């Protein structure tokens, strides 16, 4: 959804309103309600009623309430593979990424500003929207990392390639925030993105050749420690997924969990988590989880959301500071430290996202707590 001249017109379906698609009408209705009564206080049924359509029609266009924010951005991101393919072969990796993202940004002119860039804070920065931002960031980063792997011959999950991909996306997001805040004279987004990539701080062509050791600083990976944890109750959606499906599961599952908690009248007790059961293979047995104070009982239509318990006892923990591409390297360091101490993992691991992701936020400020329960 973007800001347009029609934003101040009559309510959806009103007389004299220019004809618009059902999706556009639903977007307008949703934003009117979000501003009137807040994101958390607005239901899908209310949005559909304001738009003059059925609840089923809403779900023809959006998988969740939070997805309303991302319609225009999702359309643009769908063009990312094509924009990258147009990059000339033989150019340095950083230049290839920047030219592809500048090309992608060209669809946004001064009168097409994604609503989330201007109204997210006004609605109280809802957590569900932040989680959906994280999932989209992860999918886009995987697209960029795969592109780098194809161009350079590096491993698809090579840490330097991922670091370069997240650096490029961080630059894009920073440029988008600056562009949105610039007002009617902002011009096209692509010009802001091009200037951001031309700035010295992003010139990270050498990052693709950094070693993993130089990236893993003590600031990003403090020394692990053993803690005593109490048993924790979780509300989860649990599935076995391939690595390529992790971001999609997070994107789908968190809205389901938060909605189930809301309908059950239960408040989250701590930051959201991801729990991996057993040893990772070709697939992960993954629980997308939100901690709760008491054992969770879903409403009758709770669907996929179930209760789960995270066992108490000794846990090896380590804080990862920085963007989410560092988490895999963090686990490697944590498991290596556990082995050095002569300890044995209990067959489960988890990560807790202590910093709520925000559109335009600095990924270097992210904090993720990794935990590996220790066998008795």
In this prediction, residue 221 carries a pLDDT of 64
Please tell me the pTM assigned to this model: 0.51
Distance between CA 119 and CA 115 in Å, rounded?
6
CATH architecture of 225-373: Alpha-Beta Barrel (3.20)
Q: Convert 159-195 to b/e letters by CB count within 10 Å (16 or more is b).
A: bbbbbbbbbbbbbbbbbbbbbbeeeeebebbbebbbe
Tokens of 101: 């993202």
The CATH classification number of 83-211 equals 1.10.357.10
Residues with Cβ within 8 Å of 374's Cβ and at least 6 positions away in sequence, in order, are 226, 313, 314, 315, 316, 338, 343, 344, 345, 346
In this prediction, residue 165 carries a pLDDT of 86
Distance between CA 174 and CA 4 in Å, rounded?
22
Residues with Cβ within 8 Å of 103's Cβ and at least 6 positions away in sequence, in order, are 83, 86, 190
Q: Name the burial class of residue 372, with classes exposed (0-12), middle (13-18) and buried (19+) by CB atoms within 10 angstroms of its CB.
A: buried
- Tens of pLDDT, residue by residue, the chain (376 residues): 454 333 333 333 333 333 346 888 998 899 899 888 888 889 999 999 999 999 999 999 988 888 888 888 888 888 888 888 887 776 777 788 888 899 899 889 888 888 888 777 766 667 777 778 888 888 898 888 888 887 766 555 567 778 888 888 888 988 998 998 888 888 889 889 988 888 755 554 434 433 343 444 555 567 889 999 999 999 999 999 988 888 889 889 999 999 899 888 899 999 999 999 988 777 889 999 999 999 988 765 557 899 999 998 999 999 988 877 788 888 888 988 898 888 999 999 999 998 876 666 677 778 899 999 999 8
The CATH classification number of 2-62 equals 1.10.10.60
Nearest alpha carbon to residue 234 among 311, 289, 299: 289
Nearest alpha carbon to residue 272 among 225, 236, 306: 236
Partnered with residue 291 across adjacent β-strands are: 234
Nearest alpha carbon to residue 337 among 200, 207, 225: 225
Tokens of 206: 């050498």
Distance between CA 156 and CA 173 in Å, rounded?
23
Q: How many residues does the chain have?
A: 376
Going from N- to C-terminal start, the domains of the chain cover: 2-62, 83-211, 225-373
Nearest alpha carbon to residue 182 among 120, 107, 76, 111: 111
């Amino acid at each position: 959804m973007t800001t347009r001249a029609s934003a101040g017109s009559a309510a959806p379906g009103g007389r004299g309103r220019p004809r618009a698609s059902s999706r556009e009408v639903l977007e307008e209705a949703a934003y009117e309600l979000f501003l009137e009564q807040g994101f958390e206080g607005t239901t899908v049924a209310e949005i559909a009623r304001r738009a003059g359509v059925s609840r089923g029609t809403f779900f023809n266009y959006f998988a969740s309430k939070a997805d309303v924010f991302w319609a225009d951005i999702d359309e643009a991101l769908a063009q990312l593979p094509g924009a990258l393919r147009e990059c000339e072969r033989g150019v340095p990796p950083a230049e290839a990424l920047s030219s592809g993202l500048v090309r992608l940004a060209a669809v946004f002119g001064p009168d097409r500003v994604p609503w989330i860039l201007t109204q997210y804070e006004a609605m109280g920065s809802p957590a569900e929207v932040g989680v959906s931002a994280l999932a989209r960031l992860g999918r886009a980063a995987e697209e960029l990392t795969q592109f780098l792997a194809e161009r350079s011959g590096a491993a698809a999950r090579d840490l330097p390639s991922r670091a370069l991909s997240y650096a490029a996306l961080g630059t894009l997001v920073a440029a988008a925030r600056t562009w949105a805040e610039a007002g009617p004279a902002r011009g096209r987004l692509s010009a802001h993105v091009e200037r951001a990539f031309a700035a010295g701080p992003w010139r990270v062509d050498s990052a693709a050749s950094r070693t993993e050791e130089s990236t893993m600083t003590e600031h990003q990976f403090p020394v692990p420690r053993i803690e005593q944890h109490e048993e924790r109750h979780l509300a989860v959606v649990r599935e076995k997924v391939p690595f390529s499906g992790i971001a999609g599961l997070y994107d789908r599952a968190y809205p389901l969990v938060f909605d189930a908690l809301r309908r059950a009248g239960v408040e989250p007790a701590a930051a959201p988590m991801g729990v991996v059961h057993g040893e990772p293979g070709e697939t992960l047995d993954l629980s997308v989880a939100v901690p709760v104070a008491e054992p969770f009982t879903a409403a009758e239509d709770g669907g996929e959301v179930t209760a789960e318990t995270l066992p108490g006892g000794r846990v090896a923990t380590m804080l990862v500071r920085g963007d989410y591409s560092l988490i895999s390297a963090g686990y490697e360091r944590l498991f290596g430290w556990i082995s050095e101490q002569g300890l044995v993992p209990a067959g489960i691991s988890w990560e807790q996202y202590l910093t709520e992701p925000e559109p335009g936020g600095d990924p270097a400020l992210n904090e993720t707590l990794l935990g590996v329960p220790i066998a008795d």
